[in-house]
Amino acid sequence: MSSTKDGGTKVTVVEDGTEFRGSMFSSCAVLVRGRIAGDVSSPSLAVTQTGFVSGRIKVATLTSDGELAGEIDADTVTLAGRVSDGTLIRAKTLEAKLSSEGGMTVTFGDARLEVGDDPTTPP
């Protein structure tokens, strides 16, 4: 599953047409073009338009143009895709990218967002 990308940087890739079920721990970045159902832990996770990740996600950086579901813990989240019903996102920073050209839009189902320095501590 790991491959090298420009400059020899390692990336774990789940290709379109591939479905992974279970727990995944990667010491390098993860790129999802296919589907993951389960736990994901890595320094960064990128979900493409064809990608879908469902489960417990723990990463420093998350970028998604695809679909997310489950419980997400990340320092930085950038969304331009879909967030499924019942999803919980805990992040220090969250950015939702919308396209004025009618391309990508962010769609939130019945999701809960906790954003800030320590999102689990009430004021």
Mean pLDDT across the stretch 83-95? 87
Is residue 52 a contact partner of residue 75, using CB atoms and an 8 Å limit?
Answer: no
Query: CA angle 40-41-44, nearest 5°?
Result: 105
CA distances from 112 to 86, 88, 91, 102, 108 (A): 7, 5, 11, 25, 9
Task: Categorize the per-residue pLDDT at 120 as very low, low, confident or very high, splitting at 50, 70 and 90.
Answer: low
Per domain, the residue ranges of the chain are 2-107
Which tens digit of pLDDT belongs to each residue from 11-52? 999 999 999 999 999 999 999 999 999 999 999 999 999 999
Structure tokens at 121: 């501590």
Task: Categorize the per-residue pLDDT at 80 as very low, low, confident or very high, splitting at 50, 70 and 90.
Answer: confident
Which tens digit of pLDDT belongs to each residue from 48-75? 999 999 999 999 999 999 999 999 999 9
Positive or negative, the CA dihedral 109, 105, 5, 92 is negative
